[in-house]
Structure formats: structure tokens, C-alpha cells
Amino acid sequence: MGTMVTQEVQRRQTLSPTDARLLTTLSSQGQNIFTTQDAASVLGCSSAAVRKRLHRLVKKGWLRRLEKGKYLILPLSAGPAGEYMPDEFVIAAHLIEPYYISYWSALRYYGYSEQAAPVVYVVTTRRKRLLTVEGITYRFVTVRPHKFFGSRRVWSGAEAILMAEREKALVDSLDRLDLCGGVIEAAKAIWRGRDEMNWEKVVAYGRRMGNRTILKRLGFLLETLALGTPSVLDALQANVGAGYTVLDNLYPREGRRDHRWHLVVNVPEHELLNWREH
């Protein structure tokens, strides 16, 4: 093992003492993903000088540039070609503050969706453009401050990241069906999480979001799946309101009107359930 590591070191271009101090200091501080300013603070020199140094380290195979001003230290195990990328959630955690991971990404994390998608959905109160790193797209979903809540700290490898709670992942998805694959994926999440969700918390979170459609969709899906206690369904019914909204805004807007939940059921109802047969 030691011989293999030595060979990898020899294949990479030699580090200067200053470069070695920079990388070892950042690594010892747990900053394997760092900014230009972080590096400038370690070396005590100008950002312009640091940028040149970081550019050289990228060319030598010691760093990978993730985006402007942000870098990843490549471990020796990456080899001379730098074939290494940490967990996509770890990358996401370093791309913006504040943040948490939700929608389809969180549903997959909890095992509520089997659909693989090369997109990580990151909730934030700030604006940031799409970013693609090594084939993974990071989509930053800007929400108003009153919708930014309900995350928990989980471990991804050796790093702690912020993931939506199970209940918040579902509520976020019912709010933005386009970011979870549609109402059928939401129905799957409800069914698969039926014994793990705190349904009173789901209702409370739905109210807090300030979007009645979340509660109407939830009530309709719970009844369609023969789930939900009378108290939960009554609490949802109390928030229906007078207007009608579509069950799934990814489908054409035509469909029968459900007068109990004030929804236009624009998804063939057998499609909401036939996935359970497979």
C-alpha cells in the first residue's frame, strides 16, 4: 500500500514548500473544499497571488476547480488523472449558504423514490445559477424566508450536511411537483414513508408554507392511498378554501373536479396507484 501511494506522489508534479503548507493546513482544518479567500488567509498574501498559485496546483493535479473561487483538494488515491469526486451532497454543502437539500434529492436519500437523476436540488434564500460538476447538475431553488425551514444534519461520508426532514421533503415536493418528478412520485413518497412520517408535522409544515394547494394535494393523495387518520384528514379539510387548483401542474389542466379537496384531477387515477402493482 505504501509503495502504491509513493508511486502516485512521484507521478504528480512536486509540491513547493509553500504549496505543501497550504494543502496540509487546509486539510488539517477539514477544508478539503475551500475558497480563494481561505487560501489567502492561510498564506497571508493577496488574492491575485493566490489565484495564480491555485491555477498551478490545478494544472499539477493537486486541486480541482469546482467553480469560480472554489476548489477541491484531490487525495493521493485520485491518481495522476485526478479521478476523484466526493459525494454530490458534500459538494452541494459547499456551494452556497444558507442551504439544505430537498425535493427529489431528499426523496431519494430517504428511499422514497427509486428514480435516479443527475441533479441535486439545493434550497436556498439566495439566487445562484445552475452549476454542473463532473456530470452532476446542482440546481439552486430560491425560496422566500418563510419557506426556508425543516432541515436536519445528516452524515454523508465523513461530513455533516443539511438535508430536509422527511416531512419537509414531502411538503417541499407537494409545493413544487416539477422538482420531484410529479404527483405520482409524491404519491410513492407518501406510501413508502407512511410508517415513518409524523403526519401532524406534515400538516403543520404545509400550513407554514402558506400554500393551500400543498394541503389539498396531500389530503387527496392520503385518501386515494387509503391512508391518513380522521384527525389528520379533518385538519387538512379545514384548510381547503374555496378555489380549485390542479392536482399536477405538469399535466394538461383538464380533468374532473374533486369537490371534497377542490382539485382538478388532471392525472388518470389508475396511474396514481398502478405503480404499486410492480
Q: In this predicted structure, what is the pLDDT of residue 32?
A: 87
* DSSP designation for 134: T
Q: In this predicted structure, what is the pLDDT of residue 61?
A: 84
CA–CA distance, 140 with 127 (Å, rounded to integer): 7
Catalogue the long-range contacts made by 22-30 (C-beta closer than 8 Å, 24 or more residues apart). Answer: 22/53, 23/57, 23/62, 23/73, 26/73, 27/73
Which of 228, 223, 225, 227 is closest to 274 using CA atoms?
A: 225
- Longest Cα–Cα distance in the chain: 73
Task: List the chain pLDDT tens, one digit each, 278 residues.
Answer: 444 444 444 445 678 889 989 998 998 888 888 999 999 999 988 888 899 999 999 888 888 888 889 998 887 655 444 444 568 898 999 899 999 999 999 999 999 988 777 899 999 999 999 999 888 899 999 999 999 999 999 988 778 899 999 999 999 999 999 999 999 999 999 999 999 999 999 999 999 999 999 999 999 999 999 999 999 999 999 999 889 999 999 999 899 999 999 999 999 888 888 887 65
Q: For residue 121, report the phi and psi dihedrals to the nearest 5 degrees.
A: -95, 120
Sign of the four-CA dihedral 162, 78, 139, 246: negative
Q: For residue 236, report the phi and psi dihedrals to the nearest 5 degrees.
A: -70, -40
What's the one-letter identity of residue 230? P
- CB-facing half-sphere around the CA of 141: CA atoms within 13 A: 22
**Which whole-number Å values give the CA distances from 114 to 52, 106, 107, 185, 192, in the listed order?**
44, 12, 9, 9, 11
Sorted by where each begins, the domain ranges of the chain are 2-78, 88-277
Give the pTM. Answer: 0.82
Q: In this predicted structure, what is the pLDDT of residue 31?
A: 86
Selecting from 1.10.10.10, 3.30.70.120, 3.30.2320.20, 3.40.50.2300, what CATH number does the domain 2-78 have?
1.10.10.10
- CB-facing half-sphere around the CA of 136: CA atoms within 13 A: 18
What's the one-letter identity of residue 38? D
Q: In this predicted structure, what is the pLDDT of residue 14?
A: 77
